[in-house]
Amino acid sequence: MQQPLEHFIKALRASEVRVSVAEAIEAHEVVAAVGYSDRQLLKDALSITVAKSEEEKERFDETFELYFARTEFRDPLDEGEDGSDENNMPQFGDGEGAPETGNELADLLLEGDRQEMAAQMEQAGQQVGVGNIRFFTQRGFFARRLLDQMGLRELERLIAELNRGGEGQPEDAMEMAAALEQGRSMLLDEARSYVDRQYELYARAAGEQLRAEFLEQTSLANIERRDFDRMSRIVRRMAKKLAARYMRRHRQARRGQLDIRRTLRVNMANDGVPFHTVWKTKKVDRPKIVAICDVSRSVAAAAQFLLLFLYSLNEVIAQLRSFAFSSNLIEVSHTLEHHEVDEAIPLILKDIGFRPTDYGQALRDLKDEFLDTIDRRTTVIMLGDGRSNYSDPEIEIMRQINERSQRVIWLNPEPESFWGTGDSEMNRYRPFCHVAKTVNTIKGLERVIDDLLRSTTRV
Amino acid sequence: MNDTRAEKLKDIETIIAGLGEQNYIASRQISTAILIAQNLSKPILVEGSAGVGKTELALSTAAYLDLPLIRMQCYEGLDESKALYEWKYGKQLLYTQVLKEQIGDVLQGATTLHDSMARLNDFSDVFFSEQFLEARPLLNALQQKAGAVLLIDEVDKSNEEFEAFLLEILSEFQVTIPEIGTIKADTPPIVFLTSNNTRDMGDALKRRCLHLFIPLPDAKLEERIVAARVPNLDARLRKQLVFFVQQMRELDLKKLPSISETIDWARVMVLLHAEDLDRTLVHETLNVLLKFEEDIRTVEQQSTELIRNAVKGAETGRLAATA
């Protein structure tokens, strides 16, 4: 009774529904309470017990359907109602007095007992551990092992013997061999689709994870277009994770001011003698961020992802002002706020993207229009390569920004050895950045932002 | 008492029927959740967008089971002295005064210090006792002899410390008061927590709860709900109304109208003695359904088509695909 549920939970975990041990135990209790007889009831009951968010519920539904849909061998009689398809399934005689061949699997095939066959396949599958399948390429291997476990070799030997004929073989040996041969090919099909289902259940999500990990570490410039969807999912998940960790308000003790009300309350147990003192606290605000993103031609490959990141950041941080520029700088907070991600990014790129860079112009625009968005609680993030086409880099404005803000962080997709070469002004901007780093992978981006949020909240 | 409760919650059909009597149309998922909650004695965390009937579910359950409903509204800064218990300071002070006067009588005849201490120890200590305890909602719910329905509303509005503090109550149905000890519920209350998902709840809390998600209803269910809540609305108009709202949910709006808005709108229609949906009527009453100026404008632009589809849908019984 317990087995199917345990495997189901394993399948759930494989498809990224987090099921803790305690929840697994509860799932058992729930099943004990509702039983397996009512499918819908079982599904609803398990769903409220183990899937704890809207996304998890979706994945739960998928996995449930997949997991409990199996073990139905196709019934050939359903296909042709008049029974013309009958020879799809080896039926020997009228099925009633199927001959004994001395081979269990062969008997089973000749009898045509689908349910028993499904059960045996299930059992064999567990014995060879099909649930451990990890890669798409392993399917053939597992299908073979599954069939071996069920006794395919013996069956093949039997078929060969029957075909050879000769002494000691029943009279209708050839017919029987043909029937078994047919049964064998059906068995192969079923085994393959069984393994496919197992792969779907246990491994697809793991493969996806592997792919995601790989993408996280690939240089932004090298990521191919077809991975864009996957990428945007990764970035969103990352932004959400970071937000969950840091966006709550922190309290910080303000030393020296006694919170009289709470002190009295705490010390009621001591008849009001203040053994324990409680100090007033103040709330530490969520980080306030101004992000400025270069979308010019020189960073074309990375611009999409920088904007994508900006978009995700915008979803999770309340106080974010974002700007984008090639030469002229515009505010894009509104665009990011009011459009879906796949609309917003092309919209911004169409507006100002892929033009020649002019950092000086961009900084002048920032100074003229938006300098008051930067105050001493603001963190300024620059995303760009610092290549300014030999125009005036306006180092002076950078210095002002540095002075006004809490800190300035420059994330550059180029490796550090390129900084200062050609038209790169990076080395001149650098003294006015609190942090200047090379970031060219998603993983790196995550690490930097993680550092960033941690240090702002600690201030 | 407990038997009737178990009896009333014995299977899904009974629960659906019972809540139906309270004019709450429950889906199978909802009643399954209540069934499991009863069997495993676990709280239910109800999520869903505003106005799909999360709070109403708790109210109806309480009414159905004939149990008192104890409601606690969460907000930022809610702490244990407001949620759990508070000492009656004034009375405690009076008590010490009285004690001071009486102490002579108590210690009369004691000659040595040791003797006095022994007498004092014999004298029962009531300073920290339940007499001086002011029960707040959570403690109150545990103290109900016959059980209760405890509704912890909008738990996502409270801060994280409070969430952690709920854990003991939710998993063991007990609270620990340092000065007295642990108070355990005689009959575990049925607990509903509701959340609008303004922030993600912690894993620890989610793990201790059953998780019920109430989606926006489909046309059929919504019609039944409106019928139950606004019985004196004409059936044809009700259909039109529901179809109209269903179409609106397909639009790109800031805030989609949920069931409570549909019900409000239906009540408005009854008040206005409306017979059919038409343009002026919709335009005049749209502010009942939509709470943003932008949304109202979006819908007004398309209202002719929406109304036509809704009226047609009400006749044929199903909604034509919207463009």
Q: Do A83 and A59 sit in the same domain of this protein?
A: no
Mutate to test the interface with A, among B211, B212, B216, B292 (most CBs of A within 10 A): B211
Contacts of B36 in chain A (CB under 8 A): 30, 33-34, 45, 48-49
Least confident range of A418-427, B1-10, B18-27, B228-237: B1-10
Contact A115, A98 (CB under 8 A): no
Q: Which of B87, B207, B210 sits opposite A48 (nearest CB)?
A: B210
Q: Do A26 and A138 sit in the same domain of this protein?
A: no
**What is the chain B residue with the closest CA to A262?**
B81
Rounded to a whole number, what is the distance in angstroms from the first to the last CA of chain A? 56
Over the stretch A43-74, which tens digit does the pLDDT of each residue have? 999 999 998 888 888 889 888 888 876 555 54
Domain end residue (candidates: A182, A207, A232): A207
**What is the chain A residue with the closest CA to B212?**
A48
Of B123, B225, B208, give the one whose Cα is nearest residue B171: B208
Q: What is the pLDDT of residue A166?
A: 65
Q: Do A323 and A450 sit in the same domain of this protein?
A: yes
The helix, strand and coil proportions of chain A, stated in percent and rounded to the nearest 5, come to 60, 10, 25
Over the stretch B260-303, which tens digit does the pLDDT of each residue have? 999 999 999 999 888 888 888 888 888 888 888 888 888 888 88
> Is there a contact between A45 and B32 if contact means CB atoms under 8 Å apart?
yes
Quick check: helix, strand or coil at residue A435? strand
Q: What is the pLDDT of residue A457?
A: 45
Residue B321 lies in a domain: no
B102: CB partners within 8 A, 6+ apart: none
Residue B322 lies in a domain: no
Residue A243 lies in a domain: no
Q: Is B177 exposed, middle or buried (0-12, 13-18, 19+ CB in 10 A)?
A: middle
Mutate to test the interface with A, among B30, B210, B212, B298 (most CBs of A within 10 A): B210
Contacts of B87 in chain A (CB under 8 A): 268
Q: What is the pLDDT of residue A81?
A: 37
Q: Do B113 and B259 sit in the same domain of this protein?
A: no
Contacts of A268 in chain B (CB under 8 A): 87, 89, 92
* Per-residue pLDDT at B173 exceeds 70: yes
Distance (Å) of CA A1 to CA A31, A143, B31, B296:
10, 26, 25, 55
- Tell me the C-alpha distance between B209 and B213, whole Å: 12
Q: What is the pLDDT of residue B69?
A: 93
The token pair that represents A42 in the structure block: 């079982």
Over the stretch B247-259, which tens digit does the pLDDT of each residue have? 888 888 888 888 9
Contacts of A20 in chain B (CB under 8 A): 207
Of B265, B233, B232, give the one whose Cα is nearest residue B248: B265
Distance (Å) of CA B292 to CA A68, A315, A335, B196, B283:
45, 20, 19, 19, 14
Q: What is the pLDDT of residue A92?
A: 47
* Per-residue pLDDT at B115 exceeds 80: yes
Q: How many domains does chain A have?
A: 3
Q: Which of B32, B87, B207 sits opposite A48 (nearest CB)?
A: B32
* Per-residue pLDDT at A323 exceeds 80: yes
- Tell me the C-alpha distance between A347 and B170, whole Å: 48
* Per-residue pLDDT at B44 exceeds 90: yes
Q: What is the pLDDT of residue A221?
A: 63
Provide the shortest C-alpha distance from residue B39 to chain A (in Å).
7
For chain B positions 124-153, those within 8 Å of chain A (CB to CB) are 128
B302: CB partners within 8 A, 6+ apart: B251
Q: Do A313 and A440 sit in the same domain of this protein?
A: yes
**H helix runs in chain B, sequence order:** 2-8, 12-21, 28-40, 54-65, 80-83, 89-107, 113-122, 137-143, 160-172, 203-208, 219-229, 235-248, 259-271, 279-289, 293-316
Domain span at residue B230 reads 219-315
**Higher pLDDT residue, A12 or B106?**
A12
Q: Do A61 and A129 sit in the same domain of this protein?
A: no
Of B314, B318, B320, B319, give the one whose Cα is nearest residue B235: B314
Q: How many Cβ pairs closer than 8 A exist between chain A and B?
A: 65
Q: Do B307 and B226 sit in the same domain of this protein?
A: yes
The CA dihedral of B57, B62, B64, B66, to the nearest 10 degrees, is 180
> Is there a contact between A41 and B47 if contact means CB atoms under 8 Å apart?
no
Q: What is the pLDDT of residue B63?
A: 93
Contact A283, A373 (CB under 8 A): no
Q: How many domains does chain B have?
A: 3
Q: Do B205 and B59 sit in the same domain of this protein?
A: yes
Q: What percent of chain A stands above pLDDT 70?
A: 78
Provide the shortest C-alpha distance from residue B214 to chain A (in Å).
10
Domain span at residue A107 reads 76-207
* Per-residue pLDDT at B32 exceeds 70: yes
> Is there a contact between B33 and A48 if contact means CB atoms under 8 Å apart?
yes
Domain end residue (candidates: A68, A85, A112): A68
Quick check: helix, strand or coil at residue A242? helix
Quick check: helix, strand or coil at residue A229? helix
Q: What is the pLDDT of residue B322?
A: 45
**Higher pLDDT residue, A4 or B244?**
B244
Q: State the pLDDT confidence band at A454, using cuts at 50, 70 and 90.
A: low
The CATH number covering residue A345 comes to 3.40.50.410
- The residue with tokens 């509005």 is B157
- Tell me the C-alpha distance between A424 and A220, whole Å: 19
For chain B positions 168-227, those within 8 Å of chain A (CB to CB) are 178-179, 199-200, 206-207, 209-213
Q: Do A32 and A88 sit in the same domain of this protein?
A: no
Contacts of B40 in chain A (CB under 8 A): 26, 29-30, 33
Q: What is the mean pLDDT of residues A303-314?
A: 75
Contact B254, B294 (CB under 8 A): yes
* Per-residue pLDDT at A188 exceeds 80: yes
For chain B positions 243-282, those within 8 Å of chain A (CB to CB) are none
Distance of CA A286 to the CA centre of its chain: 27
Contacts of A271 in chain B (CB under 8 A): 96
Provide the shortest C-alpha distance from residue A272 to chain B (in Å).
11
Q: Do A321 and A412 sit in the same domain of this protein?
A: yes
Q: What is the pLDDT of residue A85?
A: 38
Domain end residue (candidates: B189, B213, B237): B213
Q: Do B56 and B178 sit in the same domain of this protein?
A: yes
Task: Say if B95 is an interface residue toward chain A (CB within 8 Å).
Answer: no
Residue A7 lies in a domain: yes
The CATH number covering residue B159 comes to 3.40.50.300
Contacts of A33 in chain B (CB under 8 A): 36, 39-40
Q: Do B281 and B146 sit in the same domain of this protein?
A: no
Contacts of B81 in chain A (CB under 8 A): 265
Q: What is the mean pLDDT of residues A153-171?
A: 76
Residue A256: phi and psi, rounded to 5, are 95, -15
Residue A138 lies in a domain: yes
Q: Do B40 and B159 sit in the same domain of this protein?
A: yes
Q: Do B168 and B31 sit in the same domain of this protein?
A: yes
- Bridge partners (DSSP) listed for residue A251: A283
* Per-residue pLDDT at A337 exceeds 90: no
Q: Do A354 and A421 sit in the same domain of this protein?
A: yes
The token pair that represents A44 in the structure block: 């609803």
Task: Say if B295 is an interface residue toward chain A (CB within 8 Å).
Answer: no
> Is there a contact between A269 and B178 if contact means CB atoms under 8 Å apart?
yes
* Per-residue pLDDT at A165 exceeds 80: no
Q: Do A83 and A201 sit in the same domain of this protein?
A: yes
> Is there a contact between B210 and A49 if contact means CB atoms under 8 Å apart?
yes
Q: Do A6 and A120 sit in the same domain of this protein?
A: no
Residue A260 lies in a domain: no
Domain end residue (candidates: B181, B213, B245): B213
Over the stretch A197-227, which tens digit does the pLDDT of each residue have? 888 777 766 766 777 777 777 766 666 666 6
Q: Is B70 exposed, middle or buried (0-12, 13-18, 19+ CB in 10 A)?
A: buried
Please report the sign of the dihedral spanned by the C-alpha atoms of residue A309, residue A312, residue A318, residue A322.
positive
> Is there a contact between B36 and A49 if contact means CB atoms under 8 Å apart?
yes
> Is there a contact between B40 and A26 if contact means CB atoms under 8 Å apart?
yes
Of A55, A13, A63, A59, give the one whose Cα is nearest residue A200: A63
Beta-carbon neighbour count of residue A140 at 10 Å?
10
Task: Say if B40 is an interface residue toward chain A (CB within 8 Å).
Answer: yes
Q: Do B223 and B300 sit in the same domain of this protein?
A: yes
Of B102, B197, B83, B198, give the one whose Cα is nearest residue B142: B83
B183: left (phi over 0), alpha (psi -120 to 50) or beta: beta
> Is there a contact between B81 and A29 if contact means CB atoms under 8 Å apart?
no
> Is there a contact between A244 and B44 if contact means CB atoms under 8 Å apart?
no
Q: What is the pLDDT of residue B58?
A: 92
Over the stretch A84-143, which tens digit does the pLDDT of each residue have? 333 444 444 444 445 566 677 777 777 777 777 777 887 888 788 877 777 777 888 888
B145: CB partners within 8 A, 6+ apart: B186, B187
Mutate to test the interface with B, among A18, A38, A47, A48 (most CBs of B within 10 A): A48
Q: Which of B33, B36, B213 sits opposite A54 (nearest CB)?
A: B213
- The residue with tokens 């860079």 is A357
- The residue with tokens 């009527």 is B281
Q: Do A109 and A125 sit in the same domain of this protein?
A: yes
- Tell me the C-alpha distance between B188 and A189, whole Å: 54
Residue B169 lies in a domain: yes
Q: What is the pTM of this model?
A: 0.66
Q: How many residues does chain A have?
A: 459
Contact B164, B204 (CB under 8 A): yes
DSSP characters over A50-86: H--SHHHHHHHHHHHHHHHT------HHHH-TTSTTG
Highest mean pLDDT among A120-134, A340-354, B135-149: B135-149
Mutate to test the interface with B, among A46, A52, A248 (most CBs of B within 10 A): A52
* Per-residue pLDDT at B116 exceeds 70: yes
DSSP characters over B263-281: HHHHHHHHHTT--S--HHH
Quick check: helix, strand or coil at residue A91? coil
Mutate to test the interface with A, among B213, B216, B253 (most CBs of A within 10 A): B213
Q: Do B141 and B183 sit in the same domain of this protein?
A: yes
- Tell me the C-alpha distance between B277 and A447, whole Å: 57
Residue A343 lies in a domain: yes
Residue B293 lies in a domain: yes
Q: What is the mean pLDDT of residues A409-420?
A: 85
Q: Which of A26, A30, A248 sits opposite B160 (nearest CB)?
A: A248
Over the stretch A275-301, which tens digit does the pLDDT of each residue have? 777 887 766 556 678 888 888 877 777
Q: What is the pLDDT of residue A86?
A: 39
Contacts of A265 in chain B (CB under 8 A): 81
Domain end residue (candidates: B213, B237, B269): B213
**What is the chain B residue with the closest CA to A240?**
B200
**What is the chain B residue with the closest CA to A51?**
B211
Domain end residue (candidates: A174, A207, A240): A207
Q: What is the ipTM of this complex?
A: 0.80
Residue A132 lies in a domain: yes
> Is there a contact between A22 and B200 if contact means CB atoms under 8 Å apart?
no
- Tell me the C-alpha distance between B62 and B227, whole Å: 22
**Higher pLDDT residue, A165 or A330?**
A330
Rounded to a whole number, what is the distance in angstroms from the first to the last CA of chain B? 55
> Is there a contact between B32 and A44 if contact means CB atoms under 8 Å apart?
yes
Q: What is the pLDDT of residue A78?
A: 39
- Tell me the C-alpha distance between B32 and B42, whole Å: 13
- DSSP annotation of A100: P
Q: Do A61 and A167 sit in the same domain of this protein?
A: no
Residue A335 lies in a domain: yes
- Tell me the C-alpha distance between B157 and B163, whole Å: 10
Q: Do B62 and B179 sit in the same domain of this protein?
A: yes
> Is there a contact between A52 and B12 if contact means CB atoms under 8 Å apart?
no
Task: Say if B4 is an interface residue toward chain A (CB within 8 Å).
Answer: no
Q: Do B71 and B142 sit in the same domain of this protein?
A: yes
Residue B39 lies in a domain: yes
Q: Do B304 and B236 sit in the same domain of this protein?
A: yes
Residue A228 lies in a domain: no
Q: Is B21 exposed, middle or buried (0-12, 13-18, 19+ CB in 10 A)?
A: exposed
* Per-residue pLDDT at B45 exceeds 90: yes
